[in-house]
């Protein structure tokens, strides 16, 4: 004997009650002709059979649809349970209404033990107030909210989590629910903490090395001043004794005269190098107070200082309009004085000597150039140009201490700029200086 499905009696009673509420069905009149009655019965039977087939087909369609829905539900459930992040739904009181297996694994708790339990039970005490405020904002405001919290698993493991939540209102429910996503960000937090630790360590190391550099600078300053001071006395003695010897043994022979001149020349050069070394050191150590500087005014001062050097020479000096920069006026005068003096020196013998000072600019910096038609230089030796005491020409050809361009580079670097040069032997050279458009801080000592 077959067993009726559960709920069949209830459905039958419901159908009978609904039938009683409907008006009575008026039956059609029965025909007197038996043959006609038979035809109508056969027609009704056929209609019932067609209707039965339609019901069977509809039932098959419902079965197939239910199977597809069940398959989709199972797929959705698998995606929900095994997502790479935790999902859960909380009611207004913060109790778990739904949760996936990923979050269960994070917390080390079975799903049945999580349902209807307050999620705050798995929060680190330091994060409880943050989560309470976060949940309130999710419930009271539209749109997603984000917070970073510390969670504690059932085994006592503490891990960092990023929680994203948004309120949802389901049909038939009184209040909204909070739909949350939980992402374990412990590796990111550990990496962030490590970066902060390394930064703190690096800052401490930089502080220590800066202090050491300051100490070494102090020692170097004492050494330079001591050397330049202490060497002045023996150099004066040498000059004095040479003068006495020359006066005592007059007249000197040609060879003795040449020796005496060599000694005096060496003393002069030694004194000059000591002076330029001290100037180079002071340029790097002193404080530079920065302000707006009109380079046109700077060049006027420099040209005034070189007026005597221009007399008696055929020099075509052109200066284009120069920009206003942020820097130290006296230091920039030193830069242009050395560049212009360098051009005048190495164009000696050119008729006419052509020297031009010009400016360019881009989005980041002003670029200043000093071009001449002098003796030029070999580009393979360009790295030596701005080094201290490095010379590309013999002392007998062109005077100088080999410090001028080094001073230029040091001053420009302290302004946050760059220096470089281009040249060709016998065809002149161009020395370039760039200064940033963005103001640098005033004290670069």
In DSSP notation, 122-145 reads GB-GGGHHHHHHHHHHHHHSSS-E
Is residue 180 pLDDT above 90, yes or no?
yes
* pLDDT of 150: 93
- pLDDT average, residue stretch 288-303: 87
- Dihedral angle of Cα 101, 107, 109, 110, to the nearest 10 degrees: -10
189: Cβ contacts below 8 Å, ≥ 6 apart: 160
Residue 277: which pLDDT band, with cuts at 50, 70 and 90? Answer: low
C-alpha to C-alpha distances, 12 to 51, 58, 201, 416, nearest whole angstrom = 20, 21, 81, 94
pTM above 0.85, yes or no: no
Q: Which pLDDT score is estimated for 241? A: 79
388-391: long-range contacts, CB 8 A cutoff, minimum separation 24: 388/280, 389/273
CB-side exposure of 110: number of CA atoms within 13 Å?
Answer: 2
Q: Report the percent of the chain where pLDDT is more than 90.
A: 25
Average model confidence (pLDDT) across the chain:
81
Is it the case that residue 225 has pLDDT exceeding 70?
A: no
pLDDT at res. 176? 84
- Once rounded to an integer, what is the mean pLDDT over residues 329-339? 85
The alpha carbon dihedral of 374, 379, 381, 384 has a sign of positive
Per-residue pLDDT, 272: 64
Q: Average the pLDDT over 158-174 and give the result.
A: 85
Q: What is the pLDDT of residue 414?
A: 85
Q: Report residue 128's pLDDT band, with 50, 70 and 90 as the boundaries.
A: very high
State how far the Cα of 414 lies from the Cα of 169, in Å rounded to an integer: 64
Proportion of the chain above pLDDT 70, given as a percent: 81
Half-sphere exposure (Cβ direction) of 71: Cα atoms closer than 13 Å? 6
Least confident of 4-13, 29-38, 194-203, 371-380: 4-13
What is the reported pLDDT for 328?
84
pLDDT over 50 at 396, yes or no: no
pLDDT of residue 138 exceeding 80:
yes
Burial (CB count <10 Å: 0-12, 13-18, 19+), residue 415: buried
- CB–CB of 148/188 below 8 Å? no
End-to-end Cα spacing for the chain: 105
């Amino acid at each position: 004997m077959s067993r009726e499905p559960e709920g069949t009696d209830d459905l039958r009673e419901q159908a009978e009650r609904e039938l009683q509420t409907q008006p009575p069905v008026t039956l059609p009149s029965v025909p007197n002709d038996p043959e006609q009655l038979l035809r109508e019965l056969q027609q009704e039977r056929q209609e019932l059979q067609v209707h039965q087939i339609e019901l069977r087909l509809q039932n098959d369609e419902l079965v197939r649809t239910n199977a597809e829905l069940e398959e989709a539900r199972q797929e959705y459930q698998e995606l929900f349970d095994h997502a790479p992040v935790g999902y859960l739904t909380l009611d207004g009181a913060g109790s778990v209404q739904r949760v996936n297996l990923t979050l269960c694994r994070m917390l080390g708790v079975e799903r049945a033990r999580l349902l209807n339990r307050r999620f705050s039970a798995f929060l680190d005490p330091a994060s409880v107030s943050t989560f309470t405020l976060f949940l309130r904002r999710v419930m009271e405001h539209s749109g997603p909210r984000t917070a970073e919290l510390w969670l504690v698993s059932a085994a006592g493991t503490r891990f960092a989590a990023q929680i994203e939540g948004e309120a949802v209102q389901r049909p038939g429910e009184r209040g909204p629910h909070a739909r949350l996503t939980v992402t374990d960000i412990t590796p990111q937090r550990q990496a962030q903490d490590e970066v902060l630790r390394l930064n703190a360590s690096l800052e401490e190391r930089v502080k220590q090395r800066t202090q050491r550099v300051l100490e070494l600078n102090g020692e170097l300053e004492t050494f330079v001043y001591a050397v330049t001071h202490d060497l002045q006395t023996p150099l004066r003695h040498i000059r004095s004794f040479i003068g006495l010897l020359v006066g005592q043994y007059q007249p000197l022979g040609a060879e003795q005269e040449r020796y005496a001149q060599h000694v005096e020349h060496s003393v002069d050069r030694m004194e000059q190098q000591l002076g330029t070394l001290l100037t180079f050191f002071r340029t790097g150590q002193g404080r530079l107070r920065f302000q707006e500087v009109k380079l046109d005014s700077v060049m006027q001062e420099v040209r005034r200082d070189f007026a005597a050097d221009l007399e008696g020479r055929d020099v075509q000096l052109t200066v284009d309009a120069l920009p206003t920069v942020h820097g130290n006026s006296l230091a920039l005068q030193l830069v242009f004085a050395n560049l212009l003096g360098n051009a005048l020196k190495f164009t000696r013998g050119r008729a006419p000597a052509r020297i031009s000072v010009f400016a360019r600019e881009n989005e980041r910096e002003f670029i200043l150039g000093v071009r001449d038609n002098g003796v030029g230089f070999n580009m393979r030796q360009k790295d030596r140009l701005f080094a201290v005491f490095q010379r590309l020409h013999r002392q007998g050809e062109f005077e100088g201490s080999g410090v001028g361009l080094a001073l230029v580079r040091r001053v420009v670097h302290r302004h946050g700029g760059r220096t470089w040069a281009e040249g060709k032997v016998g065809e002149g050279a161009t020395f370039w200086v760039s200064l940033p458009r963005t103001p640098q801080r005033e004290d670069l000592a």
